[in-house]
Structure 1
């Protein structure tokens, strides 16, 4: 199998690492747990870093004179400047990073949908926002993969996030060498993946590699397009059309296989089978045509198999071992 790079991630410290939540607990996160063997993780709890204890009185964001403030109603403290200063200082020293996993709804770490109140005490929710620390991350790292741990329980969101962090890690590794040949190889490996996300941006990326620009400029422009193309997954239509193209370029198929694959794509379009089923057929066809080189394709193998979510988490459960089912 193809060897994958190790993404560098910034992760909320309360996710599987330490009991630093306001209530003295840590949070279970299957994706963080699974990624620990395959990624390098930098962890942070901004609330602890600015001197708050564990456990501690909860924080909240309030809107005051049309500006957001980070406050601790239980103590009356306004921690806005302290948190802003810490966030800027921490991110200045962060170094290379490929993605972010934060605790959702946190007034410091939530990436969106954090409640904003009218006042410190006894007040309605008047808005939704990013947490204070996360807001600095969003401003500095626009286009980078970032998700909340709760959203990563969704299979589609998880798949796109994992696909993106491994693409970013791959690109970071080749960028350090600034080799156009390495960039061409990266582009080839990701061609079908990028095609399935946004064909127009894929064409722009391809065009960059046929020009005569300087290597550092090409890498800079290509990196910007990489952020844009992986901002969100492509439509179901684009995935199906990409699967068709990949199938067509693989040699050795007969008319019966082509008909079978067309029918399979129709069943997928009708939501009768999963995308994983389509990918497994493409993997087999691609291996027959290209051998071990097929393992390099990021449309087929976007990240290590070991971190895929289980296809059926309850497969081993015995649904027939019940009192009512013993007649």
Structure 2
């Protein structure tokens, strides 16, 4: 099987690591737990880092005269300046990173859904915003893979996030190698994946590197296009069209196999089978043609198999172990 890089992640420290939530608890995050053997994780709890205890009185974001403040209603503290200074210093020293997983609804770590109030006490919510720490991350690392732990419980969001995370980790290694041949290989093994996301941007990427002699001539612009490509998944039509193009590259197809795969794509279009089922069939055809080289293709293998979400968490449950069923 193809080897994968180890992504570098910045993760909210309360997610599976330490009991640093405002209520003194640690938060369960299946994707963080699953990633631990496969990634290098850096953790942070900005609220603890600026000197707040555990447990602690909750924080609140206040908007007054278009100015945002981070306050602690229970103590009356205004922590805006302290949080901003810590965040800038922390990010300046962060080093290499490929992605972020933060705790949602946190006034420091939420990526966009934390409540903003008009006043410290007894006031309505005036908008939803990013947390103070996360807002700096969004501005500095625009386009990088970042998600809230709660959203990553959704299998589609999880799949997209992991796909992007490993693409960024791969590209970071390419930048460190500073080799145009490595960039061309990266582009080649991601070609079907990128086409399934955004074929127009993929064409721009292909044109950019077509005549490049040195990676430094194109790496910055290529990275911008990579961010644009992976911003969100392509349509279902694009996915099935890309799967069909890959299938057509398989050698020695009998007519009944073409009919069979067309039927598979039709069943997926009708929402009768999962995308994983389509990919498994496509992997079989691709392996028959390309052998172990097929393992390198990121459309077929975007990240390690052990990071796939469980298909059926309750598969082992005995639904027939009850009194009326024993009679």
TM-score normalised to the size of structure 2?
0.99
Whole-Å separation in 2 of the counterparts to 1:93 and 1:302:
30
Which residue in 2 is equivalent to 1:270?
Answer: 270
How many pairs were matched up?
Answer: 327
Which residue in 1 is equivalent to 2:116?
Answer: 116
Kindly state the Cα deviation for residue 213 of structure 1 after the two structures are TM-superposed: 6.0
Kindly state the Cα deviation for residue 211 of structure 1 after the two structures are TM-superposed: 2.2
Whole-Å separation in 2 of the counterparts to 1:307 and 1:213:
36
Whole-Å separation in 1 of the counterparts to 2:6 and 2:97:
11
Equivalent residues in 2 for 1:38-77, closer than 5 Å? 38-77=38-77
Which residue in 2 is equivalent to 1:30?
Answer: 30
Whole-Å separation in 2 of the counterparts to 1:323 and 1:56:
48
Whole-Å separation in 2 of the counterparts to 1:30 and 1:139:
27
Which residue in 2 is equivalent to 1:222?
Answer: 222
Whole-Å separation in 1 of the counterparts to 2:203 and 2:250:
22
Match of 1:176, SS state, is helix
Match of 1:104, SS state, is coil
Superposed CA deviations along residues 100-125 of structure 1, whole A, max 9, x for unmatched, are: 00000000000011000111011111
Whole-Å separation in 1 of the counterparts to 2:214 and 2:250:
35
Match of 1:71, SS state, is strand
Kindly state the Cα deviation for residue 250 of structure 1 after the two structures are TM-superposed: 1.1
Matching of residue 106 in structure 1 with residue 120 in structure 2 = no
Which residue in 1 is equivalent to 2:302?
Answer: 302
- Provide structure 2 residue ranges, at least 5 long, that are not aligned to the other structure: none
Whole-Å separation in 2 of the counterparts to 1:206 and 1:196:
15
Whole-Å separation in 1 of the counterparts to 2:254 and 2:167:
34
Kindly state the Cα deviation for residue 66 of structure 1 after the two structures are TM-superposed: 1.5
Whole-Å separation in 1 of the counterparts to 2:242 and 2:123:
51
Say whether the 8 Å CA contact 2:11–2:42 is kept in structure 1.
Answer: yes
Which residue in 1 is equivalent to 2:150?
Answer: 150
Whole-Å separation in 1 of the counterparts to 2:137 and 2:263:
45
Match of 1:81, SS state, is helix
Kindly state the Cα deviation for residue 19 of structure 1 after the two structures are TM-superposed: 0.1
Runs (4 or more) in structure 1 with deviation over 2 Å come to 211-215
Whole-Å separation in 2 of the counterparts to 1:212 and 1:126:
50
Which residue in 2 is equivalent to 1:83?
Answer: 83
Say whether the 8 Å CA contact 2:194–2:229 is kept in structure 1.
Answer: yes
Whole-Å separation in 2 of the counterparts to 1:123 and 1:12:
28
Matching of residue 18 in structure 1 with residue 18 in structure 2 = yes
Whole-Å separation in 1 of the counterparts to 2:188 and 2:210:
13
- Provide structure 1 residue ranges, at least 5 long, that are not aligned to the other structure: none
Whole-Å separation in 1 of the counterparts to 2:111 and 2:213:
37
Superposed CA deviations along residues 54-89 of structure 1, whole A, max 9, x for unmatched, are: 000000101111211100000000100100000000
Matching of residue 197 in structure 1 with residue 197 in structure 2 = yes
TM-score normalised to the size of structure 1?
0.99
